[in-house]
Chains A and B, each alone.
Chain A
Amino acid sequence: MSNDLVILKDISRIYHKGKERVEVLHRLDLTIANGDFLALMGPSGSGKTTLLNLLGGLDKPTSGSVKIGDAELHNMSSSALSKWRAVNIGFIFQFYNLLPVLTALKNVELPLLLTNLSAKERKKRAATALSIVGLDDRADHYPRELSGGQEQRVAIARAIVSDPNLLLCDEPTGDLDRETADEILKLLQALNRDHNKTIVMVTHDGQAAQYAQYTLHMDKGTLASRESA
């Protein structure tokens, strides 16, 4: 039985800006094994974020196939993709994207609103996720009352609370100082190592990429090279 979680075949993604045709990804093939922690690096416009969006079912390829687990994302409807994302994907953004009107605990609980869990069970699971990222004492704090690093930890807790296989991180340390960034990266490493999460991390930061098992370098919409840590 194959251990591959992600199989991308002959992926192209073309945008149109007015009359201009922009091919962001060009006939890209990629396989990611279950339990991998990889960094995606490359210059701006090389297609890193577009690739991440395709992996998360936020965007569809112009051509080619995206298979994650048993799901063929390129064939799925918007509604089916939403349901699939809720179960299978955890997103971590550069600017955390927490809802400012909700406490840390309620932010973490958000993805669980899409499940049939009782309110009590949702709260319990959100509290567990917060304790995994070391923020159980900040459960009732609003995002404005947290530091950048703490906000990102809450975002990570939100990403893992529904226990998805795949975590997609878009510049997760881009807004943090070095010391805090290292803490976050260690946390991601622990999630990969101890909880067997497959992690794809887009980054510009070479030091951040060192925490991944390997780094894929992208250039002009293709995979240019692979570098092991």
Chain B
Amino acid sequence: MATQSARKPWGKTIIFGILSAALYAGVFAFADTIAAHFAQGSYWAAGPIATVFLFSYVHGEFTGNLWSVLGIEATRKPARKTETVGKPATVRPAARRATLNA
């Protein structure tokens, strides 16, 4: 139990949490202006697409680490055995335990 809590990604959670909060604060401080620019369409289309990619990385890292810090992590699952017909392509792999914190 002690080793489990020692492995909890507190540092990453705090860093990405601050970054995520800063990004949200930055965008919403100028929300109307940014939304108006992005609504011009054409080449401005890159704006919302790039923004959501950036947020999905930063906020996604934060949320993933947050669940780990809260002790909610994936568990091991056994592989499902199924019938195969004709040329069996491959053996269905086992679902692996997550080892990263995202």
Whether A and B are associated in the same complex: the answer reads: no
